[in-house]
Amino acid sequence: MSEREYDVVVVGAGFAGMYLLHRLRGLGFKTRVVEAGSDVGGTWYWNRYPGARVDIESMQYSYQFDEDLQQEWQWSERYSPQPELLKYAGHVADRFDLRRDIQFDTRIGSARYDEATSRWTLEAENGDRFVARFFVMATGCLSKPNWPQIEGLGSFAGPTYHTALWPHEKVDFTGQRVAVIGTGSSGIQSIPVIAEQAAELFVFQRTPNYAIPAHNQPLDPVYEKKVKSRYAEFRTEAKQTPPGIHGRFRVGNAMDATPKQRQAEYERRWDAGGLSFMGSYGDLMFNQDSNDTVADFVRGKIREIVKDPDVAEKLCPKNIIGGKRLCIDTSYYATYNQEHVHLIDVKERPIEAITPTSVRAHGRDYEIDVLVIATGFDAMTGALTAVDIRGKDDANLRERWADGPSSYLGLAMTDFPNLFTVTGPGSPSVFTNMLPTIEQHVDWIVDCLAYMKDRNYTAIEAEPDAEKAWWDHHQEVSKIGLKTTTDSWYLGANVEGKARVFMPYYGGFPTYCQKCEEVAAGGYEGFAFG
Ligand code: NA7
């Protein structure tokens, strides 16, 4: 047990925490990063399930703050697999000598603000205490695993693996009877790989998802050279698009094109693969008829790929496309053509129970050896409210957000002075390429701390009016279009009892960055300094 004092304590050593440490150190802030895992990497440290892979192209899903780093690092595939992303995180930690200021294997349980000293005291579950003027939660948007509420879950006698808490040692499914519960990105990425080994695979699907082929392949050296010859410009161009991703995003309306033109465009995008599929037309997320055309196209593909028409129908999503996060897959639908792969629809009749040897559904026991839980995360707020955070006058973040979160720019909250969140609710976060978004947030936070240091300010707090105005704007923007018409983790709908409030900012990365810049240029408008 120890107690030490710092200028800044950062919780989380994923890409956000690592870059924060690098920048804060550069400005002379005495910084400590506290991380629950045993190494750096965040998402890529925990999500080691078979098939785990980023859904943004590798050349874009990487840091850009250091030109030498981005020139020297070589990705091997179009979409990096988890082990390579973890290796990259480790490389960055080595290159910038980060680990010496990171305390691993330490989970923060509580944080309390002392108004008299304008300092936070963080207490870890092992009893270690960290006192600091500033406290940054760099805990990620998808980091608190969501466990399904199924009777008997803990009673299963064989191994149970959650995709978000995958063991470090290799899991061998050879000859095993395996159940996978959940068909979001994690299920869709892992199911084809598990099917290669398993003797029998039972997939329990509550809601079918749209998956677009990744067409993953070794990274084309010509493309790599081209991007690297103008990396800075390439990055700048990416930041001018709403998701902060370099790609072909058309502005025309799907309904203005003829059916033949639309079909040709969707085919072309399907063949190219990846998230830019939804960039086929500008109105796909704003016009139900337009969305129907692209959703029908994907349903048509599912029916073409999956040989058994009943299985194909079960796999066809009924909700709009893009309401839930689009999945990027490798052979997902084709996996169901294998005789040992079985799809069990548990939408109308949920899983009844988990027994020591089976998953019970529709009155039948599916006998299994291994249980894989791919039920996602308590997204956006879960990791923040997992810590007992108490601000001014003992303001309790968990209670404050019981009816849904609120934040100024996803960066700070009234009554919680000197606390910053990286990609918090109300920031564009998961609608963008997370790496540049993280860098933007970190730069903004660090610049703000430097501004305070120059002026000898000791406390900063979001003003209630500014927070309310931003949150109202954010909620207003989220209602434009179709996004809120689907139950999703963006809305908190995947966690039982969680308030349904739309969390990521839907106004686009450029608009958000402009607002952040204006706030800073105006002497941090909407913030009060002490
Ligand atoms: P997701 O996308 O939240 O998917 C979780 C899946 O688990 C989804 O299909 C859920 O169905 C399903 N689920 C949840 N609870 C149950 C129960 N009780 N029974 C059956 N099925 C259930 O999480 P992922 O980890 O796949 O991906 C999260 C993000 O990580 C992803 O969007 C990428 O950004 C990376 P539901 O749809 O709720 O009916």
Which one of 142, 206, 319 would you pick to mutate in the ligand 1 pocket, going by the greatest count of ligand atoms within 8 A of its CB?
206
pLDDT average, residue stretch 278-295: 95
Which one of 203, 494, 495, 500 would you pick to mutate in the ligand 1 pocket, going by the greatest count of ligand atoms within 8 A of its CB?
494
Dump pLDDT digits (tens) for 377-402.
999 999 999 999 999 999 999 999 99
pLDDT at 1: 63
Q: What is the residue-wise DSSP string for 406-459?
A: --BTTTB-TT-TTEEETT-BTB-GGGS-HHHHHHHHHHHHHHHHHHHHHTT---
CA dist 451 and 29 (Å) reads 13
| CA dihedral over 116, 120, 124, 129, signed as positive or negative | negative
Question: CB within 8 A of 211, min separation 6: which ones?
Answer: 188, 326, 327, 328, 329, 332, 333
pLDDT at 263: 97
pLDDT average, residue stretch 257-277: 95
CA dist 156 and 159 (Å) reads 8
Q: Hey, what are 142's tokens?
A: 């998808």
Q: How many angstroms is it from 506 CA to the middle of ligand 1?
A: 21
**For atom 24 of ligand 1, which residue has the closest CA?**
376
Which one of 375, 437, 488, 489 would you pick to mutate in the ligand 1 pocket, going by the greatest count of ligand atoms within 8 A of its CB?
375
Q: How many angstroms is it from 389 CA to the middle of ligand 1?
A: 27
Q: How many angstroms is it from 183 CA to the middle of ligand 1?
A: 6
Q: What is the residue-wise DSSP string for 196-208?
A: HH-SEEEEEESS-
Domains and CATH numbers, the chain: 3-145+378-459+504-525 (3.50.50.60), 248-323 (no CATH)
pLDDT average, residue stretch 96-125: 98
pTM: 0.96
Q: How many angstroms is it from 163 CA to the middle of ligand 1?
A: 11
Cα Rg, the chain, nearest whole Å: 23
- 32: helix, coil or strand? strand
Tell me the pLDDT band of 249, cut-offs 50, 70 and 90. confident
350 CA: nearest ligand 1 atom: 19
Q: How many angstroms is it from 325 CA to the middle of ligand 1?
A: 10
Residues with CB under 6 A from ligand 1: 142, 148, 150, 163, 181-187, 204, 206-207, 325, 346, 351, 374-377, 489, 494
